[in-house]
Amino acid sequence: MKYYPDNLVTVEYVLQTLENYKSESADVQKEVKQESIQKLGQLAASLGQDLQMIADRYQVLINRQQLTSTISTISGAIAGAVPVPIVQGLGVLISLGGSLITGVQSKNAAKAQAEVQTVQLKIQQVQTAIQQIQESAGGINTTALFVAGIAAFFFIGR
């Protein structure tokens, strides 16, 4: 990557990087936006792995096949900077996080739920950032993003 370090970055870092290159040529902005979506995809895959670690830590059942498949889908979309599968995968991760919250039945339930809700909030931030990038790039599939956003809020409220 030309505009980002190799390690994971935060959503705020991505948004600031986009802001820093706002006055550059259209070609540079396009390249920065593609790399931004890739970095957000990497963050999304990492958040999926965080959900798996929380499930393991608190010994809560989670649909591991769906989780693994979702992380694979997100990872596959990263190379091509394809935002829609990433956003859809984030919606699935939020859903799986909701099932983790309801599945925790122990003395550590409040702690586990707080951890999952923190991950869910980060997932929502990634979704919002990808949507902002797409809107600024034009040609956005707003229906897919709107549906993914509604699904995310539905599952968080559960």
38-76 pLDDT, tens digit per residue, is 999 999 999 999 999 999 988 888 888 999 999 999 999
Confidence band for 144, pLDDT divided at 50, 70 and 90: low
Residue 106 DSSP label: S
The label of the residue with tokens 């929380």 reads: 54
- Secondary structure percentages of the chain, helix, strand, coil, to 5: 80, 0, 20
% of the chain beyond a pLDDT of 90:
66
pLDDT at 156: 47
Q: Which tokens in the block code for residue 21?
A: 């290159």
Average pLDDT of span 134-157:
56
Question: Which value, in Å, is the radius of gyration of the alpha carbons in the chain?
Answer: 16
CA 2 to chain centroid: 22
- Helix (H, G, I), strand (E, B), or coil: what is residue 79? helix
Average pLDDT of span 117-121:
95
91-114 pLDDT, tens digit per residue, is 999 999 988 887 777 777 888 889
Contacts of 146 (CB under 8 A, 6+ apart): none
Which of 95, 86, 94, 91 is closest to 134 using CA atoms? Answer: 86
pLDDT higher than threshold 70 for residue 150: no
Q: In this predicted structure, which of 2-6, 106-110, 119-123, 152-156 has the lowest mean pLDDT?
A: 152-156
Could you count the other beta carbons within 10 Å of the beta carbon of residue 39?
Answer: 26
pLDDT at 61: 81
